[in-house]
Amino acid sequence: MRQHTVGIADLTAGAGDVTLVTIGLGSCVAIALHDRRHRIGALAHVLLPHHALTADTPSAGKAASTAVPAMLTRMQSLGATYDIEARLVGGASMFATLLAPGAISLGARNVQAARAACAAHDIPIVGEAVGGDFGRSVYFDVATGRVHVRTVRGGDVLL
């Protein structure tokens, strides 16, 4: 089985017997999109909730608002249809004690933005491992659609 690693603020797509991996999610969110019928998937390691928060020209994977459409384009070029589902991982509040009272953490904002980006493209979210205050890594088996989430603490999760 081939493995492709997705870096921070990046994304990739693959088909068939491939595992898409991203490690070190804290407040970042991994968005995994999957077309079960065609065994095509894409994975993004989203850094920010919206591309307007970047001072430079963002890579497509940097923000949820740009990652989802870019992922769909790449998946469609591999033969995916519009029968796509999503899984979200990450969005931890790594430094909750530093937040002002009532403030929403960057992790929570990233999760909200990922949900909104999926909703904007009518993509149902079928699994989530989000929030908390611990890091995660994602191993996405494109052939099966299974997302294995390894956590620093809190146990592993299969979505």
Catalytic residue among 9, 11, 13, 28: 28
Q: What are phi and psi of 112, to 5 degrees?
A: -60, -45
Q: Cα separations (Å) of 3 from 13, 21, 35, 45, 96?
A: 11, 7, 18, 16, 34
Q: At what angle do helices 64-77 and 106-120 cross, to 10 degrees?
A: 40
- Residues with Cβ < 8 Å from 4, sequence gap 6 or more? 12, 14, 18, 19, 20, 21
Q: Assess whether 28 carries a catalytic annotation.
A: yes
Q: What are phi and psi of 41, to 5 degrees?
A: -145, 165
**What is residue 38's three-state secondary structure?**
coil
Which residues carry out catalysis?
28
